[in-house]
Amino acid sequence: MAKTNSIGLSAAKASQLTAELNELLANYAIFYQNVRGFHWNIRGEKFFELHAKFEELYSDLQIKIDEIAERVLTLGSTPYHTHKIYLETSSVKPAENIKDGRRAVQLILSAFTTILLQQREILDLAAKANDEGTNALMSDYIREQEKLVWMYSAYLG
């Protein structure tokens, strides 16, 4: 019988999942910081609307960062937690000094594309590992973020 971790999943499959979840965690961390910057630096006619939407988004990203890190711990590994490893690992790249609302929304949509693709891969791995906890987490995130993609895309016209 295959070696299992403390929650009864294959240790090897859990290790593969935590590697993917840590990469996702890095993407979320950079995305979060980008959106904080958009919130702080946004200028122009849609300032009040976007300032509030960006705060709503980064608050949600902060919750998801914590949930992902806790899932990594639940699976028996250590979550990434330094800026250095986030920058080395993340596919979402830092966005500096973005003041234009349309550009900020474009970067948000790009980050969502990256994250959604990765979450779908994790969803597939979780199904193969019989990991309902990670599966449920990714399913919830995907459902929420697909709607956000639609809404931010509608904003761009």
What digits encode the pLDDT tens for the residues 56-86? Answer: 999 999 999 999 999 999 999 999 999 999 9
Mean pLDDT of the chain, nearest integer? 97
Domains along the chain with CATH numbers: 11-156 (1.20.1260.10)
Cα(88)–Cα(98) distance, rounded to whole angstroms? 22
Tell me the pLDDT tens digit for each residue of 104-138.
Answer: 999 999 999 999 999 999 999 999 999 999 999 99
Q: What local confidence, expressed as pLDDT, does residue 117 receive?
A: 98
Per-residue three-class SS string for 58-79: HHHHHHHHHHHHHHHHHCCCCC
